[in-house]
Amino acid sequence: MALRSSWLKVPWRRAERRRHDPYWDFFINTPPADRANSVLDVIRKAPEGNVFPTRADLHTPEVTTTHVKEMARYLGADLVGITRLDNDDAGHPFAVVCAVRADDDPREAPGIGGQVPVQNGLFVTFVLSAWIRELGFRASAAVSADAARLAFAAKLGTLDRTGKLVTAEYGTRVHVADVIRTDLPLVPA
């Protein structure tokens, strides 16, 4: 979580320790034999909860935006941005895009360890979208093909030639979590 202090961390220690770990490759690269042993499907396939019938007393859209971003960071997102959606199917005007640091690219590492960034991203997007629904506004988190493009629109970074997000903070070692589409009044970046 966000509790660890990082100012004294030696950058090469972690990689060094992992090179001596005989099981680390299994953790990162071997896909689970039983999908039920991973929490990803459990969270992704869960039905969406209800929107709370009473809307919470909100502050201005600017303040709400800082609150949403602060909440996402507290839940473990490393980067968070908001962008306007032009033609959303469900008519949601805004998208909240969260990105988490990824030591291994989840698209190339199918193991439980390689999917840890996805797991962290799902934790953020599930709780954040549930929170927005409990505030009384619609919000749905779903896998979307244009996540990287929306992250670019939310000014998290730029896209490289292959359409991957490149950020100033983590380079390409970043995973864009599910996009939350919402009608909570926000201010896009």
Partner 1 sequence: MAMTPQTETPPPPYLGRSVRIVGPVSNVDMNQTPHPRNSRGELGKALFNWYRNTISRDPLTRVSAPNHFADQRNFLAALVNQAPKGKVNHQRVAVSDPAAMTRHIKAVAHHMGADVVTVARAHPSFLYAASAPPKDSAARDVYQNRSGDVYQGRTPEQMAEQYPYIIVATTAWDYDKLQAHRHYIGDAAYHVSQMKAQMILKALEGYIKELGYSALRGMSNPQAAGLASGVGELGRNGLLIHRKFGARIHMPDPIMTDLPLVPDQPVDNGVEDFCKICRKCAINCPTNSVPFGDKVVFNGVEKYKINWLTCYKIRPYVDAHWGSCLTCATVCPFTKPNVWWRSLTVWALSTCPIPARPLLVRALKAIDDRFWGTTRQTRVRWLGYDSGVKPGEQACTVAGCTAVHGTAHAAEPVGNLGYYAPLKENTNRFVKRDV
Q: Does 107 bind partner 1 (CB under 8 A)?
A: no
Q: Which one of residues 58, 166, 187, 189 is an interface residue with partner 1 (CB under 8 A)? A: 58
CA-based nearest residue to 80, from 28, 2, 161: 2
Distance CA 160, CA 166 (A): 7
Q: Does 142 bind partner 1 (CB under 8 A)?
A: no
* Nearer of residues 156 and 184 to partner 1, judged by Cβ: 184
Q: Which one of residues 15, 47, 161, 168 is an interface residue with partner 1 (CB under 8 A)? A: 47
**C-alpha separations of 32 from 102, 114, 128, 175 in Å:** 19, 11, 27, 20
* Nearer of residues 11 and 47 to partner 1, judged by Cβ: 47
Q: CB under 8 A: which stretch of 60-68, 81-89, 144-152, 156-164 binds partner 1?
A: 60-68
* Nearer of residues 153 and 182 to partner 1, judged by Cβ: 182
Q: Which residues of 114-138 are buried (b: 16+ CB within 10 A; e: fewer)?
A: bbbbbbbbbbbbbbbbebbbebebb
Q: Does 87 bind partner 1 (CB under 8 A)?
A: no
Q: CB under 8 A: which stretch of 128-136, 144-152, 155-163, 171-179 binds partner 1?
A: 128-136
Query: Smallest distance, Å, CB 135 to partner 1?
Result: 5
Q: Where are the beta strands (DSSP E) in 51-189?
A: 79-84, 94-101, 139-142, 158-159, 165-166, 174-176, 179-182
Q: Where are the beta strands (DSSP E) in 78-178?
A: 79-84, 94-101, 139-142, 158-159, 165-166, 174-176
Q: Does 81 bind partner 1 (CB under 8 A)?
A: no
Q: Does 116 bind partner 1 (CB under 8 A)?
A: yes
Distance CA 78, CA 98 (A): 7
Q: CB under 8 A: which stretch of 80-88, 118-126, 156-164, 171-179 binds partner 1?
A: 118-126
Q: CB under 8 A: which stretch of 54-62, 78-86, 144-152, 153-161 binds partner 1?
A: 54-62
